[in-house]
Amino acid sequence: MQFCTYRSVPLISEIKVVEILEVLCRCLDDEVVEVREMAATTLSGILRLSPRRSVITLKDRFVRLAKNSNIPPRQSPEYARAIRQRHAAILGICALVDSYPYTVEKWMPELMAGVLAEHTYDPIPISTTVRKCASNFKKTHQDTWHEDSKKFNEEQLTALSTLLTGSSYYA
């Protein structure tokens, strides 16, 4: 799907691109974690090539999904489904962040400092995905951080710093 879509994006109608994005969003909630991760990678690549208005719609969708996913105790029969649902939302958010590797869009600081930072200490694979996304963000913005950091307010910079380095309880 990646190869065909990447090579044919200029030829694909906008309606079909939306359908492809919808299929990828459904794949983000697959039971197999590798399928979810590959869907996020593919989604990120397609978002780089698709209309900007798709990004805002998906951002709202993933944020809503992350906020509405409550994780019950481990013993609950709903635990695995809740983890998968939240992981899907976080993977979607990370795909959005990764789709702009060298810029900081106006919605990105709140998404990273507000939403992703809240899930830094969630169960695995969610926390792993958040840390990997933060690490990728740091790598791609390292050279231009003196300019990019101006798009974050002080509170967001603190949250981002905690997200990137973790918290220390050393006294």
Q: What confidence tens digit (pLDDT) does each residue in 52-100 have? A: 778 889 999 999 999 999 999 999 999 999 999 999 999 999 999 999 9
Burial 72-89 (b: 16+ CB within 10 A, else e): eeeeeeeeeeebbbbbbb
Question: Within a domain: residue 19?
Answer: yes
Question: Within a domain: residue 46?
Answer: yes
- Domain that includes residue 22, residue range: 2-131
Helix, strand or coil for residue 73?
A: coil
Question: Within a domain: residue 64?
Answer: yes
Higher pLDDT, 168 or 61: 61
**Lowest mean per-residue pLDDT among 37-46, 57-66, 86-95, 160-169:** 160-169
What pTM was computed for the model?
A: 0.90
In 3D space, the residue among 44, 52, 71, 49 whose CA is nearest the CA of residue 126 turns out to be 71
Is the pLDDT at 124 greater than 70? The verdict is yes
Question: Within a domain: residue 85?
Answer: yes
Domain total in the chain: 1
Question: Within a domain: residue 15?
Answer: yes
